[in-house]
A = this chain, B = another copy of it.
């Protein structure tokens, strides 16, 4: 099994294809409806990319509860963002690391919006979407290498955590 795993990962990295190792900081934001060649720093594009369809969500199955998603993804990612908001990254690698965590924060918001863990289609969905939007603000600040904007974006992330916890904490698992 281990031999196979190594073969799989090496093949992936060697091919430059799906899952190949981009150097840190070169991951691109692919926004809903945004084209493949979209530039960094423009995470919110328009129009449906050629050859892409919008996922129907068929086949989605919640495996983690919302609480587990917090522990596994949201809390580590948001803490990395908060830390960077307090003390701006000092190297390209450090900026890229924050960007990766912001992308995870955005995608964990997508997970909060799908499957059976969704408790309602109103505030829960709006608040989860607010998490995604705040994460996009972090990504824009990172791409602009703007520490002040990063700090403000971190505050925006915090506000989305806080408002959702006020309504749902202790009520949702």
Q: Identify the A interface with B (CB < 8 A).
A: 1-2, 4-5, 8-9, 11-12, 15-22, 27-34, 36, 43-44, 48-49, 51-75, 78-79, 82-83, 85-87, 100, 103-104, 106-107, 110-111, 113-121, 125-126, 128-129, 132, 135-136, 139, 151, 154-155, 158, 161-162, 164-165, 168-173
Copies in the complex: 2
Q: Are A57 and B57 in contact (CB under 8 A)?
A: yes
Given contacts A4-B155, A30-B64, 14 further A-B contacts (CB under 8 A): A1-B86, A2-B83, A5-B158, A12-B165, A21-B71, A30-B117, A31-B62, A33-B116, A55-B113, A56-B57, A58-B121, A59-B125, A63-B107, A72-B104
Cβ of A8 and Cβ of B110 under 8 Å apart? no
A121 touches B53 (CB 8 A): yes
In the assembled complex, 17 residue pairs joining A and B whose CB atoms fall closer than 8 Å, in A order, are A5-B79, A8-B158, A16-B170, A22-B68, A22-B71, A28-B68, A49-B116, A53-B120, A54-B115, A55-B60, A55-B115, A55-B117, A55-B125, A57-B60, A61-B132, A73-B107, A110-B115
- Do the beta carbons of B60 and A9 come within 8 Å of each other? no
> For residue A22, which residues in chain B have a CB less than 8 angstroms away from its CB?
67-68, 71
B129–A59 touching, CB < 8 Å? yes
* B68 and A30 contact, CB distance less than 8 A: yes
- A21 surroundings in chain B (CB, below 8 A): 71
